[in-house]
C-alpha cells in the first residue's frame, strides 16, 4: 500500500470530469485536502458536491482526471483493495443512516463491521474491548448516557452525533460528510460541527464536509472550497474569507 508522508495531502483530485447521461456535473475540478485539515465544500444545490464526495471513495468513478485518496486511486483498485480503502474513509450522511429501532450503542458498533466480520445479534455478541471502545466514542460525542436508547427516540442532533461516533469506531483517516447538518436546527448544527471538528483534531483525522450555510463553513473549516455548476470557483483559507464574499458564489 502506498505510504503517506506528512506532507502529502490525504486527498488529491486532479482535473476531474464527470457527467451523467451526457449532462456535465463536474468539470475540471482540482482539489487537495491537506492531512489533518477540515475543508468545507460549499456551493448551491446541484453544484456537484455530493457527486464529488462519492468520487473520493469510489462510489462514482470519474470520466476524466484522477482521484488519489490516502494514496490510492479508486478507479485502479481491485474490489478487495477498494473495500480496504473504504474502511479508512468514514462517511456521514445528511439523513444519519442509522437503524432507528436499534440502540445508539448497537448503531455505533456497526462502525466496526467495515473492518471486522462479526455476528450481529445484539450488543453482547460484540467483543468486550469493542463494546468499551463504542462507549468511549459515545462519551466523546456526549451521548454515553443515551447508549441504550433507541435511535428513533433521539433528537436529530443526537442521532447525527451517534453517526459520528459510529464513524469514529471505524478508525478513519479521512471523514467525508455530506450536508451533515442540513436537517438540523441551528443550535444542533453548531454542536454537531463543533463535535466533529474537536474530535477530528484530537485524532488527526482529515475532514471534507459539504455545507450550504456559509457562516457554518467559515466558523468550522480551516479551508473553504466552493463549487458552482460543477466548477471549482473558490479555494481559500477560511480566515481570508467573509460571509458576504462567500455568498456571492450562490
Ligand atoms: P449537490 O450535492 O451539490 O446538490 P449533486 O452532486 O447531488 O449536487 O448533483 C449535481 C448534479 O448531478 C445534479 O444536477 C443532479 O441531478 C445530477 N446527478 C447527481 N447524481 C446523479 C446520478 N446518479 N444520475 C444522474 N444525475 C445525477
Ligand atoms: Mg448534495
Task: Give tens-digit pLDDT for 60-73.
Answer: 999 999 999 999 99
Q: Mind listing the pLDDT tens digit for each residue in 4-48?
A: 455 789 999 999 999 999 999 999 999 999 999 999 999 999 999
Query: Which positions ≥6 away from 91 have C-beta within 8 Å?
Result: 53, 57, 167, 175, 176, 177, 178
* Partner residues linked to 134 by β-bridges: none
| Secondary structure of residue 83 in the 3-state scheme | helix
Residue 105 near residue 138 (C-beta atoms within 8 A): yes
pLDDT at residue 206 in the model: 98
Residue 47 near residue 229 (C-beta atoms within 8 A): yes
Closest ligand relative to 60 C-alpha: 1
pLDDT at residue 126 in the model: 87
Ligand 1 pocket (Cβ < 6 Å) reads 20-21, 25, 43, 45-51
Residue 232 near residue 30 (C-beta atoms within 8 A): yes
* Partner residues linked to 32 by β-bridges: 12
Q: Mind listing the pLDDT tens digit for each residue in 92-111?
A: 999 999 999 999 999 999 88
| DSSP characters over 148-203 | TSBGGGS-HHHHHHHHHHHHHHT--SEEEEESTTTTS-HHHHHHHHHHHHHHHHHH
Q: Look up the pTM and report it.
A: 0.94
The answer, yes or no, to whether residue 2 has pLDDT greater than 50, is no
Nearest protein Cα to ligand 1, atom 20? 51
Nearest protein Cα to ligand 1, atom 21? 20
Residue 15 near residue 184 (C-beta atoms within 8 A): no
Q: Which of 16, 20, 42, 60 to mutate to test the pocket of ligand 1 (most atoms within 8 A of CB)?
A: 20
Beta strands in 76-138 (DSSP E): 89-92
pLDDT at residue 129 in the model: 93
d(CA 158, CA 207): 20
Amino acid at each position: 500500500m502506498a505510504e503517506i508522508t506528512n506532507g502529502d495531502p490525504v486527498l488529491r483530485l486532479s482535473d476531474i470530469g464527470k457527467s451523467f447521461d451526457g449532462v456535465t456535473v463536474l468539470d475540471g475540478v482540482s482539489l487537495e485536502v491537506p492531512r489533518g485539515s477540515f475543508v468545507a465544500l460549499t456551493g448551491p444545490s446541484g453544484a456537484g458536491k455530493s457527486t464529488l464526495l462519492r468520487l473520493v471513495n469510489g462510489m462514482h468513478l470519474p470520466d476524466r482526471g484522477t482521484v488519489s485518496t490516502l494514496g490510492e486511486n479508486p478507479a485502479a483498485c481491485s474490489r478487495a483493495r477498494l473495500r480496504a480503502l473504504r474502511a479508512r474513509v468514514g462517511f456521514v450522511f445528511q439523513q444519519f443512516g442509522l437503524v432507528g429501532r436499534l440502540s445508539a450503542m448497537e448503531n455505533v458498533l456497526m462502525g466496526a463491521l467495515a473492518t471486522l466480520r462479526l455476528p450481529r445479534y445484539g450488543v453482547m455478541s460484540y467483543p468486550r474491548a469493542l463494546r468499551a471502545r463504542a462507549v468511549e466514542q459515545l462519551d466523546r460525542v456526549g451521548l454515553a448516557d443515551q447508549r441504550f436508547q433507541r435511535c428513533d427516540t433521539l433528537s436529530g442532533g443526537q442521532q447525527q452525533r451517534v453517526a459520528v461516533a459510529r464513524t469514529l469506531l471505524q478508525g478513519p483517516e479521512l471523514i467525508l460528510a455530506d450536508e451533515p447538518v442540513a436537517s438540523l436546527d441551528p443550535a444542533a448544527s453548531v454542536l454537531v460541527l463543533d463535535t466533529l471538528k474537536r474530535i477530528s483534531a484530537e485524532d488527526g483525522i482529515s475532514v471534507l464536509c459539504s455545507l450550504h450555510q456559509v457562516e457554518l463553513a467559515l466558523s468550522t473549516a480551516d479551508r473553504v472550497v466552493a463549487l458552482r455548476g460543477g466548477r471549482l470557483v473558490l479555494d481559500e483559507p477560511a480566515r481570508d474569507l467573509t460571509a458576504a464574499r462567500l455568498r456571492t458564489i450562490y
